[in-house]
Amino acid sequence: MLRHAYRLHSGSLSKMKLVEEQLPDPGPGEATIAVKAIGLNFADIFAIWGLYSATPAGEFVPGLEYAGVVARVGAGVTHLREGDEVMGVIRFGAYATHLNIDARYVLPLPQGWSFEEGAAYPVQVLTAYYALKELGAIRQGHTVLIHSAAGGVGIWANRIARQYDAFTIGTVGRAQKLEFLREEGYDKGIVRSSNFKLELEQALDGRELHLIMECIGGKILQEGYEKLAPQGRMIVYGSARYASVGNRPNYLKLAWYYLTRPRIDPQRMIESNKGVLGFNLIWLYHRAELLHQLLGELEQMDLGKPHVGHTFSLEQLKDAILLFQTGKTVGKVVVRV
């Protein structure tokens, strides 16, 4: 089967080229998906730049999230049929018109959802739920601070936290996004600034801070950690501070941010009874049973449809990535195929 796919050796977005190539038949236990939509994630940017430890060596096809139609099934696959509408996660390879994937990671597209909505769901909802439930041990009535609150993970984190009657405080980088936070049901919204410590204090209004969904880094991370209550947990799943806009990273800026990153003393953690946990969903990819368990639990929640904020064509994929880098997006950025 012929397909088109974006390929590159990591280092610069400018290296990424759309090529025509042959896709082999699916192997035993695999399925071939005709991709209809691709979901963008921050990990894509770092993989393209070569700053993501999971990035494959040599030439590769980026992309972790897709929705589409089953085109072929390999031997032993019984839960899928040609023509099924599906979505899923893949350990790279989604930036393509067709892909082969282990059929265990192919999920049915919920009834009434578009392909764009399907491509906006699995990676970010699993990130939010695993962070809050498995690592954060969220409880009824907790207070949760959610950074990048208008982004894909942030939206799901708020919706999930509300299932626990949590008090949610969302932070954004631009004042224009505050109205969206209100529409999504956040209790408080903060525009991150040099006065973040004071603004967080005011938003808490005497409440204890139990959980932080941290993806910014730097001073914001440090000041959030300082406000955590005893037994509080900070879940670190990203570091947007290291991102810049353009084809390649700003290495001088990266070096400075790395050298000045927060240092949290384990001895002080013992004394303050706080925890910091880090994770990335891709390192759970081999845990297929766990991912299905989490998705099953999520199905029982009334979380609503994904919020797709921006759509691009396959030919505009580079433009989509450049917009994503700016921090101006709201909701999920999706590429139609």
Question: Is residue 291 in some structural domain?
Answer: no
State residue 253's pLDDT score. 79
Number of domains in the chain: 2
State residue 238's pLDDT score. 86
Strands, DSSP E only, in 197-246?
A: 209-214, 228-236
pLDDT tens for each residue of 173-226: 999 999 999 999 999 999 999 999 999 999 999 999 999 999 999 999 999 999
Tokens, residue 320: 């989509």
Same domain, yes or no, for 117 and 38?
A: yes
Question: Is residue 153 in some structural domain?
Answer: yes
Same domain, yes or no, for 132 and 218?
A: yes
Neighbours of 122 (CB within 10 A): 25
Same domain, yes or no, for 73 and 17?
A: yes
Same domain, yes or no, for 157 and 240?
A: yes
Same domain, yes or no, for 319 and 205?
A: no
Whether 258 has a pLDDT exceeding 90, the answer reads no
Position with higher pLDDT, 239 vs 244: 239
Same domain, yes or no, for 236 and 133?
A: yes
Enter the pTM of the model.
Answer: 0.93
State residue 120's pLDDT score. 98
State residue 267's pLDDT score. 86
pLDDT tens for each residue of 316-329: 999 999 999 888 99
State residue 308's pLDDT score. 98
Same domain, yes or no, for 192 and 88?
A: no
Q: Mean of the per-residue pLDDT values for the chain?
A: 95
Whether 244 has a pLDDT exceeding 80, the answer reads no
State residue 39's pLDDT score. 98
- Own/partner long-range contacts of 139-142 (Cβ < 8 Å, ≥24 apart): 139/164, 139/210, 140/164, 140/165, 140/166, 141/165, 141/166, 141/167, 142/166, 142/167, 142/210, 142/211
Question: Is residue 236 in some structural domain?
Answer: yes
Question: Is residue 42 in some structural domain?
Answer: yes
pLDDT tens for each residue of 99-158: 999 999 999 999 999 999 999 999 999 999 999 999 999 999 999 999 999 999 999 999
- For residue 118, give Cα distances in angstroms to 61, 77, 85: 20, 22, 10
Same domain, yes or no, for 170 and 277?
A: yes
State residue 117's pLDDT score. 99
* Domain enclosing residue 63, as ranges: 2-121+306-336
Question: Is residue 200 in some structural domain?
Answer: yes
State residue 134's pLDDT score. 96
Same domain, yes or no, for 113 and 133?
A: no
The CATH number given to whatever domain includes residue 207 is: 3.40.50.720
Same domain, yes or no, for 163 and 241?
A: yes
Same domain, yes or no, for 273 and 133?
A: yes
Task: Please compute the mean of the pLDDT values over residues 51-61 and round it to a whole number.
Answer: 90
Whether 330 has a pLDDT exceeding 80, the answer reads yes
Same domain, yes or no, for 8 and 83?
A: yes
Where residue 333 falls among pLDDT bands split at 50, 70, 90? very high
